[in-house]
Structure 1
Amino acid sequence: MKKKERQQRVLDEVSINRKVSSNFLSEKLKVSEDTIRRDIKELDQKGMLTKIHGGAISNIQKLYHYNEDIIYNREEKILIARKAISLVKNNMVLVMSGGTTNLMLAKLLPKDIKLTIYTYSLPIAMQLTELPLAETIFIGGKIHRSSMVTIGIDVIQYVSNIRANICFMGVSAIHHNTGVTDEGYEVSLIKKTMIKASEKIVYLTTSNKLNLSHNYDVCNTTEIDTIITNLDLKDEKLKPYISAGINLI
């Protein structure tokens, strides 16, 4: 494993776990602890993590606490996030909805990537502060306490003026007949505006959100371009989506 790839893996593990030991990283990456310690020292000097005795912590841990216990299906979301990263290129403009799958994407974006990223999710905006070359724009408004996203007409008006290359959309429910739906009316309106503001919409969903429907429409099936899931593309659960002409990753 080359140095650049190894150091990115170190950053990924720190982002995911918030705090990691040198011993854990040594075993995970199959290199010596001395190599890991040198990597941590170098990454600390670059401001990409914080070196502590016996390991490293995420810089954001010093600024903001987010309850990691609510991230269910953690490994599935890591897999989805890594698939999504393959679509991201330098100098893109992204817009990200809320949700813990998008939070995982924010955690795992390469630290050396140059992006402009808009989001109305407070946890995601705070996580994105760890990207030194990315410009993060948090879209302010009334904060919805349970999901820590902003809602309201101000958010909708702001999003309507964005021109993004990719929208990464978290999903509450998606069905091959009814399309994408959401539990909240105000959030559904914001997501509709995000769709209009973006060239490409990528829906990130764990398999437990497939074949479900909620009360408020976000988009119909014909408007779905790309879905990223944790499933193998040969999985039976994905056949109706393939038949509907949806691109799956």
Structure 2
Amino acid sequence: MLKEERQNYILAKIRELNKVKSNELAVELGVSEDTIRRDLNQLSHNGLILKVHGGALSTHQKLYHYNESSVFNRENKVILAKKVVPLLKDGMTVIMGGGTTNLEVSRLIPDNIKLTIYTYSLSIAMQLTEHPNVDVIIIGGKLHKQALVTVGVNVVKLLSKIKADLCIMGTSGIDVDEGITEVGYEVSFVKRIMIASSRQVVALVTADKLNTTQRYPVCDLFEIDKMITDLDPNDPVLIPYAKKGVEIL
């Protein structure tokens, strides 16, 4: 098979599946993985695909793809995400915030669970397009270009009309006395509405966020039902939070 034919095959495969693996392409096309890597490099250089470790993605996947090795505390965030999954029940309506911890959650949702997920995160919405049984509703508004989340009046209006079973919310800071706080005012305001619109609120907290505060308040601890951390639930640092009535997972 000529190089042009191989590359056309690869592009057709990516259009169909949104992603391909180098080792599988090598078997399908009867060539070495080195040959496939050279093809992927050329297609990536031409802007036709997004090359990643072990294969390639459709260019529209750029919105949510990230270099896993560059994510701070990724291993800890995966631990948190795995603790969230058992809380997801078939038929639930869920509000999911932004951030890389929630992105890990969205990647781990089992295929057999049917959910309706509202999110203001473009990255998470794009990730969830790969899930066969999740209805994704993205909440439109002003785009925060760095965080790839929407903020503003429209987001607040839509969130305030939702009656969700579960809110899954990342945190920038959490303290026994100050509660949850955020770096930016707009995000803090959106999170307050998320909480008010949900029957149950789950806060995702990596250990480095414990006992820290940011500028803008989100909520008091009594407004949180569960706090999921990357620590053992019996860790002494979590005792003051448990005494405030927060269930620690």
Same fold (TM over 0.5): yes
Offset at 1:229?
0.4
Give the match for residue 101 of structure 2.
101
- Does the alignment pair 1:213 with 2:182? no
The residue number in structure 2 matching 1:119 is: 119
Once residues 119 and 107 of structure 1 are traced to their aligned partners in structure 2, the CA distance between those partners, rounded to angstroms, is: 14
Q: CA RMSD in A?
A: 2.2
One-letter identity of the residue aligned with 2:83: K
Query: Tell me, what secondary structure is at the counterpart of 1:54?
Result: helix
SS class of match (1:80): helix
User: What is aligned with 2:66?
Assistant: 67
Query: Rg larger in 1 or in 2?
Result: 2
TM-score normalised to the size of structure 2?
A: 0.77
Three-state SS of the structure 2 residue aligned to 1:169 is strand
Question: Which range moves more in the overlay, 197-206 or 52-61?
Answer: 52-61
Amino acid at match of 1:76: N
Q: In structure 2, what is the equivalent of residue 52 of structure 1?
A: 21
Q: Which residue of 1 aligns with 2:38?
A: none
How far apart are residue 157 of structure 1 and its match?
0.3
CA–CA distance in structure 1, aligned partners of residues 230 and 90 of structure 2: 25
CA distance in 2, matches of 1:224, 1:217: 14
Residue type at the aligned position of 1:169: M
State the distance in 2 between where 1:164 and 1:59 align: 37
Shift of 1:132: 1.2
The 3 A distance-change label for structure 1 pair 153 and 60 is: farther
Unaligned runs of 5+ in 2: 1-12, 26-51
Aligned counterparts of 1:61 and 1:104: Cα–Cα separation in 2: 18
Question: Amino acid of the residue matched to residue 133 of structure 2?
Answer: L
Count, aligned residues = 204
Separation of aligned partners in 2, 1:221 and 1:134:
30
Q: Is the 8 A contact 2:80 2:230 kept in 1?
A: yes
Q: Deviations over 1:19-61 (max 9, x none)?
A: xxxxxxxxxxxxxxxxxxxxxxxxx9xx888553415989993
TM-score by length of 1: 0.77
The answer to whether the 8 Å contact 1:48/1:59 transfers is no
